[in-house]
Amino acid sequence: MTRKSNATSPTVSHIIDTFENELKEFDQLDNDQVERLIALIRDDPAINGSKVQEAIFPSENESEH
């Protein structure tokens, strides 16, 4: 009973699904960016601004660091 569950409410899941579909229509984002961002949103309970930036602009941020 210590394993974490990633279950989300149907309401939240539905919102994230819709958001994902809309992001896929964005010309400025490629599939990898969308996948990384959605995976972060779905699975990381400690999501924050820095993680979002890393998900969207991974290589650029790494090179800047």
Partner 1 sequence: MLKIESITIKEFRGIRDLTLNFKKQSFGICGPNGTGKSGVVDAIEFALRGDVTRLSGQGSGDLSVGKHGPHVDAGEKSENASVRIKAHLYAIGKDVEIYRSVASPQTAVVEPTDDDVVSAVEELVRHPEFALSRREIAKYIMTPATQRATDVQNLLRLSEIDKIRKALTAAMGTEKRAMDAASRSLLDARQDLARSLDLEEIDPSQILDAANQRRSILKLEPIEELNEGTKLAEGIEQDGENGEQVSKRIFSERISSAIEFTTGLDADTSERRTDLVEALTQLRDDAEAFSTLRRKKLTSLGLELIEDGSCPLCETTWVEDELREFLLARLETAKEVDEKLKTLTSEADYLSEKMKEANEYLKAVRSMIPPLKLFLLMKPISLRISRLSRRLERFKDPFGDKQKLNELIEEIDGAWLSDDTETVQVLREVQEAIEKLPDESAEAAAKKELLIASNLYSNSVSRKAAFQEAKRKHSISEQISTQFHTTASEQLTAIYEAVSADFTKFYRSLNRGDEDDFEGELVTEGKKLNFNVDFYDRGKYPPGAFHSEGHQDGMGLCLYLALAKHTLGERFDFSVLDDVLMSVDTGHRREVCRLLTREFPNTQFILTTHDKVWLHYMRSEGLIRDSQLFSGWSVETGPKVWDDSDVWESIDKELEQDKTSEAASLLRRYLEHVGYVLSDGLRAPVRFRADGRYDLGDLLPAGLSRAQKQLKRAEQAAKSWENETKEKEIGEIRSKFAKVSETIQVDYWLVNPLVHYNEWSNFTSSDFKTLADSYKELIGILRCDNCTAFLHTHLHRGKEVALSCSCQTMHYGLSKKRRVISNLASARIIKS
In the complex, what is the shortest distance from the CB of residue 32 to partner 1, in angstroms, rounded to a whole number?
14
Q: Is 22 in the site for partner 1 (CB under 8 A)?
A: yes
Q: Is 18 in the site for partner 1 (CB under 8 A)?
A: yes
Question: What is the rounded CA–CA span in Å between residue 41 and residue 21?
Answer: 14
Question: What is the rounded CA–CA span in Å between residue 38 and residue 52?
Answer: 10
Alpha helical stretches, state H, 1-65:
10-24, 31-43, 49-56, 58-64
Residues of this chain that bind partner 1 (CB under 8 A): 1, 3, 5, 7-12, 14-16, 18-19, 22-23, 26, 28-29, 37, 41, 45-53, 56-57, 60
